[in-house]
Amino acid sequence: MQLIDAETADFLYAEMGAGRETSGGSAANTLAGLAALGKRCGFIGQVANDQLGTIFAHDIKALGVDYHTPVSNGGVPTARCLVMVTPDAQRTMNTFLGASQHLPASALDPEMIRGAGILYLEGYLWDPEEPRKAMRSAIELARAAGRKVAFTLSDGFVIERHRADFMTLIESGLIDILFSNEAEIQALAQVEDFEQAVAAIAPKVPILVSTRSEKGAVAVAGGKRHEAPAAPVDEVIDTTGAGDLFAAGFLAGIVEGKNLTTCLHLGALCAAEIISHYGARPEADLKELRARSGL
């Protein structure tokens, strides 16, 4: 994943062949999965007053997600991510953060945050200054209301630039559920061994979750380790959004009070659905898939 500017985004888009265009965004994808599982969700994120912004707002509302963040009229277009997928299902992501990187704290919906069981934040938007301030404010609101805070590390480059901030959040007890993949947790712990990384970070957060692609996923809480294998999939088409949908399944289990092993299995089920097709929004009925799985 690399960040790009508007000019580069336009250039790459012009050079790309025919593709699939769909709403995305890391946290928005997670909420799309949660909504598909029947959970009540609200989203706070900024788009511009342009075509892509209109499409995004329509799509997320159509999923049943509460969304009413005011649009930006500052001239910066809506964010987009240009994803190129190789035949072995790996993806290169070129992300223009656009209007999302100017989300002000004034755009927060305090009542939505106070009323939510879990506040879920994506690391990608920790990079720009304005949304970083907004997320700090959101954490304060959630904490004051006695709500849980979940945070996803998102990408290695984010950790490289903001590791000190993330460790401060963690060591201050502000994060209840920390999501990572294998490479991210190692980068956060500054070690090259997964088990060493888990041992270093797990005692610092109530729940640590780390995905390991085909090796499954691990959750550690209170010194107890839980594991689940990757869910079977006929063919891996596109890994874009696998972590986002894993978080959706895991959080659905958390809000239902399921044990962590079941939460991991739910996450793996949702991730398997998303990697079986192009795009980072579910195409199959997640409720039906879950019912069939018996989870």
Instruction: Decide if pLDDT at 98 tops 90.
Output: yes
17 part of a folded domain? no
Name the E strands within the chain. 2-3, 42-43, 66-67, 80-85, 91-96, 118-122, 148-152, 177-181, 207-211, 217-221, 224-228
Give the pLDDT confidence score for residue 1 in this predicted structure.
85
- Of the candidates 110, 94, 109, 101, which has an alpha carbon nearest to the alpha carbon of residue 72? 101
Task: Label residues 256-266 b or e (16+ Cβ within 10 Å = b).
Answer: eebebebbbbb
* Average pLDDT of the chain to the nearest whole number: 96
Q: How far apart are CA 48 and CA 32, in angstroms?
A: 20
Q: What is the Cα 285 distance to its own chain's centre? A: 20
Contact 242, 271 (CB under 8 A): yes
d(CA 210, CA 219): 6
Where residue 218 sits, what CATH number does that domain have?
Answer: 3.40.1190.20
Task: For residue 132, give both structure tokens.
Answer: 């970083």
Task: List pLDDT tens digits, range 197-239.
Answer: 999 999 999 999 999 999 999 999 999 999 999 999 999 999 9
Domain that holds residue 48: 2-11+22-293
Q: Would you say residue 73 has pLDDT above 90?
A: no
Task: Place 191 in a pLDDT band, splitting at 50, 70 and 90.
Answer: very high
Give me the percent of the chain exceeding a pLDDT of 70: 100
Q: Does residue 172 lie within any of the structural domains?
A: yes
What was the pLDDT predicted at 74? 78
- What's the CA gap between 290 and 107, in Å, rounded? 35
Band of pLDDT at residue 75, cut at 50, 70 and 90: confident
Q: Are residues 89 and 275 in contact, defined by beta-carbon separation less than 8 angstroms? A: yes
How many angstroms separate the CA atoms of 60 and 42, rounded? 10
Q: What is the pTM of this model?
A: 0.96
Query: Which region, left, alpha or beta, applies to residue 6 given φ > 0 means left and ψ of -120 to 50 means alpha?
Result: alpha
Q: What is the pLDDT of residue 90?
A: 87
Are 217 and 228 in contact by the 8 Å Cβ rule? The answer is: yes
How many domains are there within the chain? 1
pLDDT in tens, 100-129: 999 999 999 999 999 999 999 999 999 889
Residue at 84: amino acid letter = M
Tell me how long the chain is.
Answer: 295
Q: Three-state SS string across 190-204, please?
A: CCCCHHHHHHHHHHH
Confidence of residue 166 (pLDDT cuts 50, 70, 90): very high
CA–CA gap between residue 270 and residue 290 (Å, rounded):
9
Task: With respect to residue 150, please indicate whether it lies within any of the assigned structural domains.
Answer: yes
pLDDT at 294: 96
pLDDT (tens digit per residue) in 251-261: 999 999 999 99
Burial class (CB in 10 A: 0-12, 13-18, 19+), 218: buried
Instruction: Answer yes or no: is 16 within a domain.
Output: no
256 is written with which tokens? 């239902």
Vertex 47 angle, CA 42 and 53, to 5°: 100
Structure tokens at 222: 């209170």
Q: How much is the average pLDDT of 265-272?
A: 98
